Structure 1
Protein backbone atom coordinates (compact mmCIF):
# COMPACT_ATOMS: atom_id res chain seq x y z
CA UNK A 1 0.00 0.00 0.00
CA UNK A 2 2.82 2.40 0.83
CA UNK A 3 4.62 1.51 -2.41
CA UNK A 4 1.52 2.36 -4.46
CA UNK A 5 1.20 5.68 -2.66
CA UNK A 6 4.84 6.51 -3.39
CA UNK A 7 4.46 5.47 -7.04
CA UNK A 8 1.42 7.70 -7.55
CA UNK A 9 3.20 10.76 -6.21
CA UNK A 10 6.43 9.90 -8.02
CA UNK A 11 4.60 9.77 -11.35
CA UNK A 12 2.74 12.95 -10.45
CA UNK A 13 6.02 14.73 -9.69
CA UNK A 14 7.67 13.51 -12.88
CA UNK A 15 4.65 14.56 -14.95
CA UNK A 16 4.69 18.03 -13.40
CA UNK A 17 8.41 18.42 -14.10
CA UNK A 18 7.86 17.27 -17.70
CA UNK A 19 4.99 19.73 -18.11
CA UNK A 20 7.19 22.51 -16.71
CA UNK A 21 9.90 21.73 -19.27
CA UNK A 22 7.30 21.71 -22.05
CA UNK A 23 6.02 25.12 -20.95
CA UNK A 24 9.55 26.49 -20.68
CA UNK A 25 10.31 25.47 -24.28
CA UNK A 26 6.99 26.88 -25.52
CA UNK A 27 7.48 30.25 -23.81
CA UNK A 28 11.06 30.52 -25.04
CA UNK A 29 10.02 29.78 -28.62
CA UNK A 30 7.21 32.33 -28.42
CA UNK A 31 9.57 35.07 -27.23
CA UNK A 32 12.11 34.60 -30.03
CA UNK A 33 11.78 36.63 -33.25
CA UNK A 34 10.74 34.67 -36.32
CA UNK A 35 13.87 35.61 -38.34
CA UNK A 36 16.04 33.97 -35.67
CA UNK A 37 14.79 30.53 -36.67
CA UNK A 38 15.41 31.10 -40.37
CA UNK A 39 18.87 32.61 -39.86
CA UNK A 40 19.85 29.66 -37.64
CA UNK A 41 18.83 27.21 -40.36
CA UNK A 42 16.04 25.67 -38.28
CA UNK A 43 12.36 25.07 -38.97
CA UNK A 44 10.06 28.09 -38.78
CA UNK A 45 8.82 29.67 -35.58
CA UNK A 46 5.23 28.63 -36.41
CA UNK A 47 6.33 24.99 -36.79
CA UNK A 48 7.96 24.98 -33.36
CA UNK A 49 5.09 26.81 -31.70
CA UNK A 50 2.60 24.31 -33.11
CA UNK A 51 4.71 21.31 -32.11
CA UNK A 52 5.55 22.61 -28.64
CA UNK A 53 1.99 23.81 -28.04
CA UNK A 54 0.58 20.40 -28.90
CA UNK A 55 3.15 18.72 -26.66
CA UNK A 56 2.35 21.04 -23.76
CA UNK A 57 -1.41 20.57 -24.20
CA UNK A 58 -1.09 16.79 -24.26
CA UNK A 59 1.35 16.93 -21.36
CA UNK A 60 -1.19 18.93 -19.35
CA UNK A 61 -3.95 16.43 -20.11
CA UNK A 62 -1.63 13.58 -19.13
CA UNK A 63 -0.97 14.85 -15.59
CA UNK A 64 -2.19 11.99 -13.41
CA UNK A 65 -4.70 12.26 -10.56
CA UNK A 66 -5.09 13.78 -8.00
CA UNK A 67 -4.11 16.99 -9.86
CA UNK A 68 -4.99 16.04 -13.42
CA UNK A 69 -7.09 13.85 -15.61
CA UNK A 70 -4.42 11.31 -16.50
CA UNK A 71 -5.90 10.26 -19.83
CA UNK A 72 -2.55 9.03 -21.14
CA UNK A 73 -1.53 6.69 -18.36
CA UNK A 74 1.83 5.10 -17.78
CA UNK A 75 4.94 6.14 -19.62
CA UNK A 76 3.10 7.42 -22.69
CA UNK A 77 2.93 10.85 -21.09
CA UNK A 78 6.71 11.11 -21.12
CA UNK A 79 6.82 10.95 -24.92
CA UNK A 80 5.25 14.42 -25.02
CA UNK A 81 8.46 15.92 -23.68
CA UNK A 82 10.48 14.82 -26.73
CA UNK A 83 9.74 17.92 -28.88
CA UNK A 84 10.57 20.18 -25.94
CA UNK A 85 13.84 18.34 -25.34
CA UNK A 86 14.81 18.60 -29.01
CA UNK A 87 13.96 22.30 -29.01
CA UNK A 88 15.90 23.03 -25.82
CA UNK A 89 18.94 20.99 -26.86
CA UNK A 90 19.23 22.00 -30.52
CA UNK A 91 17.11 24.97 -31.51
CA UNK A 92 17.29 27.14 -28.38
CA UNK A 93 21.10 27.59 -28.47
CA UNK A 94 20.94 28.43 -32.18
CA UNK A 95 18.19 31.05 -31.95
CA UNK A 96 19.32 32.57 -28.65
CA UNK A 97 22.39 34.11 -30.29
CA UNK A 98 20.32 36.01 -32.84
CA UNK A 99 20.64 39.76 -32.60
CA UNK A 100 18.65 42.19 -34.65
CA UNK A 101 20.69 44.67 -36.59
CA UNK A 102 20.01 48.28 -35.72
CA UNK A 103 18.28 50.17 -38.51
CA UNK A 104 20.48 52.09 -40.91
CA UNK A 105 20.37 55.70 -39.75
CA UNK A 106 22.00 57.13 -42.79
CA UNK A 107 25.41 58.66 -42.62
CA UNK A 108 28.25 58.08 -44.95
Structure 2
Protein backbone atom coordinates (compact mmCIF):
# COMPACT_ATOMS: atom_id res chain seq x y z
CA UNK A 1 0.00 0.00 0.00
CA UNK A 2 2.83 2.41 0.84
CA UNK A 3 4.55 1.67 -2.48
CA UNK A 4 1.34 2.35 -4.35
CA UNK A 5 0.88 5.68 -2.54
CA UNK A 6 4.47 6.66 -3.33
CA UNK A 7 3.90 5.79 -6.99
CA UNK A 8 0.80 7.95 -7.05
CA UNK A 9 2.69 10.89 -5.49
CA UNK A 10 5.53 10.49 -8.00
CA UNK A 11 3.01 10.44 -10.84
CA UNK A 12 1.56 13.80 -9.75
CA UNK A 13 5.03 15.24 -9.17
CA UNK A 14 6.06 14.25 -12.68
CA UNK A 15 2.89 15.82 -14.12
CA UNK A 16 3.58 19.03 -12.19
CA UNK A 17 7.17 19.12 -13.47
CA UNK A 18 5.99 18.59 -17.03
CA UNK A 19 3.50 21.46 -16.72
CA UNK A 20 6.20 23.66 -15.16
CA UNK A 21 8.56 22.97 -18.06
CA UNK A 22 5.88 23.51 -20.73
CA UNK A 23 4.89 26.85 -19.16
CA UNK A 24 8.55 27.92 -19.14
CA UNK A 25 8.87 26.85 -22.80
CA UNK A 26 5.81 28.89 -23.78
CA UNK A 27 7.11 31.89 -21.84
CA UNK A 28 10.47 31.59 -23.61
CA UNK A 29 8.70 31.43 -26.96
CA UNK A 30 6.67 34.62 -26.49
CA UNK A 31 9.64 36.88 -25.70
CA UNK A 32 11.34 38.65 -28.58
CA UNK A 33 14.82 37.60 -29.71
CA UNK A 34 16.34 41.02 -29.06
CA UNK A 35 15.14 40.91 -25.43
CA UNK A 36 17.50 37.98 -24.80
CA UNK A 37 20.43 39.96 -26.20
CA UNK A 38 19.45 43.10 -24.28
CA UNK A 39 19.22 41.10 -21.03
CA UNK A 40 22.68 39.63 -21.78
CA UNK A 41 21.38 36.05 -21.65
CA UNK A 42 21.72 33.13 -24.05
CA UNK A 43 19.80 33.34 -27.32
CA UNK A 44 16.14 32.53 -27.76
CA UNK A 45 16.80 29.36 -29.83
CA UNK A 46 19.18 28.12 -27.11
CA UNK A 47 16.51 28.37 -24.42
CA UNK A 48 13.81 26.94 -26.67
CA UNK A 49 15.99 23.91 -27.43
CA UNK A 50 16.98 23.39 -23.78
CA UNK A 51 13.41 23.75 -22.50
CA UNK A 52 12.02 21.64 -25.36
CA UNK A 53 14.44 18.81 -24.59
CA UNK A 54 13.59 19.19 -20.91
CA UNK A 55 9.86 18.89 -21.65
CA UNK A 56 10.46 15.83 -23.83
CA UNK A 57 12.56 14.18 -21.12
CA UNK A 58 9.91 14.90 -18.49
CA UNK A 59 7.22 13.53 -20.79
CA UNK A 60 8.98 10.30 -21.72
CA UNK A 61 10.96 9.68 -18.52
CA UNK A 62 8.88 11.63 -16.01
CA UNK A 63 7.88 8.73 -13.80
CA UNK A 64 11.45 7.52 -13.51
CA UNK A 65 13.73 9.44 -11.19
CA UNK A 66 16.63 9.47 -13.61
CA UNK A 67 19.53 11.82 -14.12
CA UNK A 68 18.36 13.48 -17.34
CA UNK A 69 14.92 14.70 -16.13
CA UNK A 70 16.65 16.22 -13.09
CA UNK A 71 19.01 18.12 -15.41
CA UNK A 72 15.96 19.33 -17.33
CA UNK A 73 14.36 20.48 -14.10
CA UNK A 74 17.52 22.41 -13.19
CA UNK A 75 17.52 24.10 -16.61
CA UNK A 76 13.85 25.04 -16.17
CA UNK A 77 14.53 26.49 -12.73
CA UNK A 78 17.48 28.51 -14.07
CA UNK A 79 15.27 29.93 -16.81
CA UNK A 80 12.47 30.74 -14.35
CA UNK A 81 14.53 32.45 -11.65
CA UNK A 82 17.26 34.10 -13.74
CA UNK A 83 16.35 34.58 -17.39
CA UNK A 84 12.61 35.24 -17.10
CA UNK A 85 12.91 38.18 -14.64
CA UNK A 86 15.69 39.72 -16.76
CA UNK A 87 13.53 39.44 -19.87
CA UNK A 88 10.60 41.04 -18.05
CA UNK A 89 12.79 43.93 -16.91
CA UNK A 90 14.08 44.53 -20.43
CA UNK A 91 10.67 44.11 -22.07
CA UNK A 92 8.90 46.38 -19.59
CA UNK A 93 6.33 43.73 -18.71
CA UNK A 94 4.76 43.21 -15.32
CA UNK A 95 7.11 42.20 -12.59
CA UNK A 96 9.82 44.62 -13.62
CA UNK A 97 10.74 47.75 -11.71
CA UNK A 98 7.87 50.11 -11.10
CA UNK A 99 7.90 53.39 -12.90
CA UNK A 100 7.67 56.57 -10.87
CA UNK A 101 8.47 55.14 -7.46
CA UNK A 102 11.41 53.97 -5.45
CA UNK A 103 12.09 50.55 -4.03
CA UNK A 104 11.23 51.80 -0.53
CA UNK A 105 7.71 52.88 -1.46
CA UNK A 106 4.99 51.00 0.33
CA UNK A 107 1.33 50.68 -0.64
CA UNK A 108 0.53 54.07 0.95
CA UNK A 109 3.63 56.04 -0.04
CA UNK A 110 7.33 56.14 0.75
CA UNK A 111 8.65 54.41 3.84
CA UNK A 112 10.93 56.68 5.84
CA UNK A 113 12.00 54.31 8.59
CA UNK A 114 9.75 55.72 11.30
CA UNK A 115 11.31 59.19 11.22
The bucket for the TM-score relative to the shorter chain is 0.7 to 0.9
State the Cα deviation string for residues 77-105 of structure 1 (Å, max 9, x = none): 333211110000000000012338xxxxx
Alpha-carbon shift at residue 24 of structure 1 (Å): 1.0
Which 4+ runs in 1 deviate beyond 4 A? none
TM-score (norm 2): 0.73
Match of 1:56 in 2: 55
Match of 1:91 among 64, 83, 97: 83
Cα distance change on mapping 1:61 and 1:18 into 2, 3 Å: same
- Choose from 59, 65, 68 the match for 1:74: 65
2:9 alignment partner in structure 1: 10
Task: Give the length in aligned residue pairs.
Answer: 91
RCO higher in structure (CA 8 A, sep ≥6): 1
> What RMSD, in angstroms, separates the aligned Cα atoms of the two structures?
1.5
Q: Which runs of 5+ in 2 are unaligned?
A: 93-115
